């Protein structure tokens, strides 16, 4: 317990502050019971995909599926987000677990090796690596510049955890983690204005998601470097983060009423602009400062628009309200990737879990703030839960109206997880997608990121959102 307390005191991001001061309403007790059970299953399934037999140490497979589709690679992005869940476990429920720490150090070794590999793009934005640690050299959408940013933030979280738990020898953080962190941050600072491929690997341009995780990495890095006494680049990284924020502000379209996914598109899938990745960015890329956070006006408006786009698109979304299920959510409405080839896109477990987590995090944010004010941007969201809500309506913490509102939002979040429960396998297995008409599992089996997204949503529901 002392180790965990020390770790929590070290981290200053909003998720930890919210967890300390706020709670999520109990919501649906049946959902809560399932979530606790599934979280444990997902944690086991996630670890199964780390260090699979025959692969280089530290290899985190996106899935163990090797054909139709072949996902037996370590994507920089997926690996960083999965490892981030692992670090959060090491910070909390699994504090001091030597086996888990060993897996994390294996991950670090694999990634540092990848950073030195010869790659097609000749840059740190190479998207994926083979099980033996070599770079993938086939045709692909590259570079993908979110990867180094996500890796830097995960390495920083691990470094802070190891310092707090005194689980590193004197030089591991300074000699192993820090140089890799600074290398990634230098890359982020030098490439943030460049076009690259998005997290779905389909569009070349400038992306809201990529810029969000870049901004977070630079701010995480500036804080870390300051605490390490390495201040040479701190001012520059903060300045660049401010520039990224200014750029991100332009992604919200007041005409459309949502955050658009991409600007300056140079090739790839044509989209209207709605994409669940803007909400994933709010969950993992925001800094708790009110800017594109889960409870912010622009993100709430975007959530309404994204959900509405899928409500009538998938057959399995018919009559969801009468069955207690939330809307099944896909990546973007124009999606044609079906998990193996191209025909019609399906709902994704990642996307549906994202909505649940977003709502839980928003509740914690509102509780921490102490008040909710409805305005012209967010009115469409709040009117879903209170028909009398309109611009100017205010809900104050402690009032009956405030409690009623957040209880309804919590139940809506639970409904998304009810959808996940309905279409996951009876043993808790979750593939990448589930069929838009039948709900059958489809695509890569036991996608590691699917399980990671369930774990982060579960912890947000329980009032302890991950960093």
| DSSP labels, 396-437 | ETTSHHHHHHHHHHHHHHHHHHHHHHHHS-TTS---SEE-TT
- What is the DSSP-derived secondary structure letter of residue 315? G
Q: Is 201 a catalytic residue?
A: yes
Q: 44 CB contacts (<8 Å, ≥6 apart)?
A: none
pLDDT of 21 reads 58
Structural domains present in the chain: 22-51+289-466 (1.50.10.10), 55-250 (1.50.10.10)
Cβ pair 260, 253 in contact under 8 A:
yes
The residue whose two tokens read 């140089």 is 179
In tens digits, the chain (467 residues) has pLDDT values of 233 434 443 443 444 444 445 799 999 999 999 999 999 999 999 999 999 999 999 999 999 999 999 999 999 999 999 999 999 999 999 999 999 999 999 999 999 999 999 999 999 999 999 999 999 999 999 999 999 999 999 999 999 999 999 887 779 999 999 999 999 999 999 999 999 999 999 999 999 999 999 999 999 999 999 999 999 999 999 999 999 999 999 999 999 999 999 999 999 988 999 999 999 999 999 999 999 999 999 999 999 999 999 999 999 999 887 789 999 999 999 999 999 999 999 999 999 999 999 999 999 999 999 999 999 999 999 999 999 999 999 999 999 999 999 999 999 999 999 999 999 999 999 999 999 999 999 999 999 999 999 999 999 999 999 99
pLDDT of 391 reads 97
pLDDT of 2 reads 32
Q: Could you give the CA distance from residue 82 to residue 450 in angstroms, rounded to a whole number?
A: 10
Q: Is 386 a catalytic residue?
A: no
Structure tokens at 108: 């670090």
Q: Quick check: pTM over 0.85?
A: yes
The residue whose two tokens read 């209880």 is 407
Residue of 45, 146, 160, 198 marked catalytic: 198
pLDDT of 168 reads 74
> Which residues share a beta bridge with 74?
129
Q: How far, in whole angstroms, is CA 212 from its chain's centroid?
A: 11
Q: Could you give the CA distance from residue 413 to residue 27 in angstroms, rounded to a whole number?
A: 9
Q: 144 CB contacts (<8 Å, ≥6 apart)?
A: 76, 77, 125, 126, 127, 196, 197, 198, 199, 201, 210
Cβ pair 276, 329 in contact under 8 A:
yes
The residue whose two tokens read 């649940």 is 356
Q: Report the alpha-carbon angle 425-428-432, nearest 5.
A: 70
pLDDT of 322 reads 78
Residue of 94, 97, 201, 334 marked catalytic: 201
DSSP strands (E only) in 114-244: 128-129, 196-197, 203-207
pLDDT of 6 reads 40
């Amino acid at each position: 317990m002392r180790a965990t307390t020390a770790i929590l005191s070290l981290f200053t991001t909003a998720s930890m502050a919210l967890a300390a001061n706020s709670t999520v309403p109990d919501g649906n007790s049946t959902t809560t019971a399932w979530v606790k059970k599934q979280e444990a299953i997902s944690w086991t399934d996630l670890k199964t995909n780390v260090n699979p037999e025959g692969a280089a140490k530290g290899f985190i497979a996106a899935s163990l599926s090797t054909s139709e589709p072949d996902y037996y690679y370590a994507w920089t992005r997926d690996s960083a987000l999965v490892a981030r869940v692992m670090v959060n476990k090491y910070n909390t429920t699994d504090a001091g677990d030597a086996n888990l720490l060993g897996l994390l150090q294996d991950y670090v070794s694999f990634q540092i090796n990848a950073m030195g590999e010869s790659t097609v793009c000749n840059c740190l934005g190479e998207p994926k690596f083979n099980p033996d640690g070599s770079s993938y050299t086939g045709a692909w959408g590259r570079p993908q510049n979110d990867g180094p940013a996500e890796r830097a933030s995960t390495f920083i979280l691990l470094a802070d955890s190891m310092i707090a738990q005194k689980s590193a020898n004197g030089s591991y953080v300074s000699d192993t983690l820090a140089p890799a962190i600074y290398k990634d941050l230098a890359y982020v600072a030098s490439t943030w204005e460049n076009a690259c491929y998005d997290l779905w690997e389909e569009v070349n341009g400038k992306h809201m998601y990529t810029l969000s995780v870049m901004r977070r990495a630079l701010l995480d890095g500036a804080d870390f470097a300051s605490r390490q006494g390495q201040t040479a680049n701190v001012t520059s990284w903060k300045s660049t983060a401010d520039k990224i924020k200014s750029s991100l502000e332009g992604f919200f379209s007041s005409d459309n009423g949502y955050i658009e996914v991409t600007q300056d598109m140079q090739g790839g899938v044509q989209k209207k602009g709605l994409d669940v990745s803007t909400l994933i960015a709010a969950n993992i890329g925001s800094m708790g400062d009110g800017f594109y956070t889960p409870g912010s006006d622009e993100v709430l408006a975007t959530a309404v628009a994204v959900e509405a786009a899928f409500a009538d698109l998938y057959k399995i979304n018919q009559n969801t309200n009468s069955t207690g299920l939330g809307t099944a959510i896909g990546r973007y409405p124009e999606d044609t990737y079906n998990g193996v080839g191209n025909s019609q896109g399906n709902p994704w477990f990642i996307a549906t879990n994202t909505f649940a987590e977003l709502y839980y995090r928003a509740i914690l944010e509102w509780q921490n703030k102490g008040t909710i004010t409805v305005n012209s941007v967010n009115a469409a969201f709040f009117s879903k839960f209170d028909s009398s809500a309109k611009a100017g309506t205010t809900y104050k913490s402690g009032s009956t109206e405030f409690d009623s509102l957040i209880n309804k939002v919590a139940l809506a979040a639970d409904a998304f997880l009810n959808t996940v429960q309905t279409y996951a396998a009876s043993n808790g297995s979750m593939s990448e997608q589930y069929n838009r008409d039948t709900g059958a599992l489809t695509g890569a089996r036991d996608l590691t990121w699917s399980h990671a997204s369930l774990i982060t949503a579960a912890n947000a529901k329980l009032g302890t959102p991950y960093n």
